[in-house]
């Protein structure tokens, strides 16, 4: 192999460095600049090709070639960095020019959130009872048959226990069909006198324009000595007049519920879509059945109480003339923003 001369190799290295810097400084954009980086510093760059020829030099001359090659590589890197910074600066100036902000323009207003109509009704109804000293109590959505049915005096063959009315859960348990189980739990934990309000979600196998498989209910009850039907009527009269208006007539008519005796359904006088007045049922109520009191360890000969339950969706639908219960859960802002 012929011996390589030092001076010609150094000359070619310096010429390559000068050519690289000139090409980099004249690059018109970042894409061309990247191509220059690959050409002069990539895996198969020209500088590396020249460096491979140092093996043909005498050993004492090779360090000088390496020193010059490193200086050229640093100069190329510096030129690349400078040119890259220039492109970034130009791009930033261009973007700032296009994104000029007029600080004198008014700011974008934030849309105000609103409470859901069911939440509004829950708050309004709950406040009307807490003002009277009622305690708000909650209970589990997943219940057992004892609290949901047996303790509330539902006979074993009652239709409400059937699969087509109740959501049973595999492995035992069910989704509560009313908030009345909270009544049982509260009475087992507390001693009279007590006044309790139990709002919450309930579940039944039912779905049409006025029913959903999930709905919101409020249960209320009082237990003490000498509680009478007249006390219940006074409480309900206050509720209806406060929610539906002072001049809203209502009536109580006999009905049947396993957990109350006597039982009543409460109707209010309402104008239908044709403008004719008619009675509409809005809630159920009655005196707590003695068997229910005994089931929680109360002496039904000394204590009495009343209970009532209402569907919150039904109250809201009547008050605002809503004809389809599904509107509450479709998340249509055109509907929700009205409240």
Distance from the first to the final alpha carbon of the chain: 94
Q: What is the pLDDT of residue 55?
A: 59
Q: For a pLDDT cut of 70, what percent of the chain falls above it?
A: 89
Superfamily for the 117-336 domain:
Bira Bifunctional Protein; Domain 2 (3.30.930.10)
The structure tokens listed for 303 are 């204590």
Question: Is residue 126's pLDDT more than 90?
Answer: yes
Q: What is the pLDDT of residue 52?
A: 64
Of residues 223 and 48, more confidently modeled: 223
Question: Is residue 1's pLDDT more than 50?
Answer: no
Q: What is the pLDDT of residue 302?
A: 95
Of residues 306 and 157, more confidently modeled: 306
Q: Which of 91, 117, 102 has its CA nearest to residue 30?
A: 91
Task: Map out the domains of the chain as residue ranges.
Answer: 6-98, 117-336
Q: Which of 289, 307, 41, 297 has its CA nearest to residue 152?
A: 289
DSSP H stretches of helix in the chain:
6-25, 30-41, 46-51, 62-98, 117-130, 145-148, 180-189, 229-244, 290-295, 312-320, 333-336
Structure confidence by residue, pLDDT tens digits, 133-186: 999 999 999 999 999 999 999 988 887 777 778 899 988 899 999 999 999 999
What's the rounded mean pLDDT across residues 92-111? Answer: 80
Phi, psi (rounded to 5 degrees) for 105: -70, 145
Question: Is residue 333's pLDDT more than 60?
Answer: yes
Question: Is residue 12's pLDDT more than 90?
Answer: no
Q: Which residues have C-beta within 8 Å of that of residue 262, sequence separation ≥ 6?
A: 229, 254, 286, 287
Say if strands 135-136 and 194-203 run parallel, antiparallel, or are unpaired: parallel
Structure confidence by residue, pLDDT tens digits, 189-222: 999 999 999 999 999 887 665 667 889 999 999 9
27 — pLDDT class (breaks 50, 70, 90): confident
Structure confidence by residue, pLDDT tens digits, 220-259: 999 999 999 999 999 999 999 999 988 889 999 999 999 9
Return the exposure string of 291-310: e unless at least 16 CB atoms fall within 10 Å of the residue's CB, then b. ebbebbebeeeebbbbbbbb
Question: Is residue 310's pLDDT more than 60?
Answer: yes
Q: What is the pLDDT of residue 24?
A: 82
Q: What is the pLDDT of residue 2?
A: 45
Q: What is the pLDDT of residue 56?
A: 62
């Amino acid at each position: 192999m012929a011996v390589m001369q030092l001076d010609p190799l150094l000359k070619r290295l310096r010429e390559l460095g000068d050519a690289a810097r000139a090409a980099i400084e004249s690059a018109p954009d970042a894409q061309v600049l990247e191509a220059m980086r690959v050409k002069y510093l990539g895996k198969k760059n020209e500088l590396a090709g020249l460096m491979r020829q140092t093996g043909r030099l005498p050993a004492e001359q090779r360090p000088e070639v390496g020193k010059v090659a490193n200086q050229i590589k640093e100069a190329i890197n510096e030129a690349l960095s400078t040119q890259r910074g220039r492109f970034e600066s130009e791009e930033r100036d261009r973007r700032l020019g296009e994104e000029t902000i007029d600080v004198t323009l008014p700011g974008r207003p934030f849309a105000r959130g609103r409470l859901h109509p069911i939440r509004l009704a829950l708050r309004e109804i709950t406040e009307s009872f807490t003002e009277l000293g009622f305690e708000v109590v909650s209970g589990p959505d997943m219940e057992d048959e004892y609290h949901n049915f047996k303790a509330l005096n539902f006979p074993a063959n009652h239709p409400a226990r059937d699969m087509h009315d109740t959501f049973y859960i595999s492995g035992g348990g069910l989704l509560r069909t009313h908030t009345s189980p909270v009544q049982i739990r509260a009475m087992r934990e507390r001693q009279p006198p007590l006044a309790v309000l139990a709002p919450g979600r309930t579940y039944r196998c039912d779905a049409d324009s006025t029913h959903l498989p999930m709905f919101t209910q409020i249960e209320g009850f009082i237990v003490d000595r000498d509680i009478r039907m007249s006390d219940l009527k006074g409480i309900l009269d206050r509720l209806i007049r406060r929610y539906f208006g002072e001049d809203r007539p209502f009536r109580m008519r006999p009905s049947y519920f396993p957990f109350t005796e006597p039982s009543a359904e409460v109707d209010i006088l309402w104008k239908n879509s044709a403008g004719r007045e008619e009675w509409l049922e809005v809630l159920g109520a009655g005196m707590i059945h003695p068997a229910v009191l005994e089931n929680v360890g109360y002496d039904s000969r000394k204590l009495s109480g009343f209970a009532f339950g209402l569907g919150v969706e039904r109250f809201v639908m009547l008050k605002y003339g809503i004809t389809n219960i599904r509107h509450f859960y479709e998340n249509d802002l055109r509907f929700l923003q009205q409240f």
